[in-house]
Amino acid sequence: MLSDQGAPPADLHCCLLSGGASQRMGHDKALLPHPEGGSWLEHTLRLLAELQAPITLLSRWPQHQALATTLRLPQLHCFNEPAPWEGPLLALHRLMERHPNARLLLAPVDMPHLNPAALHTLIEAAAVAPQRIHLAHDGERSQPLLGIYPSPAPVRSHLADAIGRGERRLLRWLDGQPCNQVHLPAATIRNVNSPADV
């Protein structure tokens, strides 16, 4: 649980996924202007920086990494996602291998209404059962791109085996994992994929 000073758990590592092709949007979602200023990418990185934990930006796009470095966040590291680009499960596997034995706070770049209260609720829920995966839930469905994923050796091994067998569906892999649902306001964790969603 967070301390009075708001310090995160020592093993928390924030991971921002920003490697998608934005096909349904028709424009790079990460670079869309955010109502609070800057881009969606900058807004989400600043939001994660408030947690005072290390941050990894995973993206295959050089323009994302270049923009991120202008924020001068000392805890930020950019990770160039190598090919093949086959979705969030493979991305999660790469992040777990890069940050073993951490608890990864996974977040997508296309939740522009995400706020500190939602992140703190997620972190506090995960503190009660730190060995389990904790996924955001909007009241109707799970939103697994926002969650806290522990990366101990057994979980990394299970995920590596699934990846090796060709599994690429995050929800299907999660069916075999111990997961808790953390209910958060639907509007706060809405995933924005198309111009109509905006």
Of the chain, the percentage scoring pLDDT greater than 70 comes to 89
pLDDT at 119: 98
The answer to whether residues 30 and 119 touch, using CB atoms and an 8 Å cutoff, is no
183 strand-pairing partners: 137
pLDDT tens figures, 149-164: 999 999 999 999 999 9
Q: Which range among 17-31, 99-113, 161-175 shows the weakest confidence by mean pLDDT?
A: 17-31
**31 confidence band (pLDDT: 50, 70, 90):** very high
Contact predicate 61/20, CB 8 Å: no
Locate the domains of the chain by residue range.
12-183
Amino acid at 30: A
Class of domain 12-183: alpha beta
Whether residue 108 has a cis bond before it, omega within 30° of 0: no
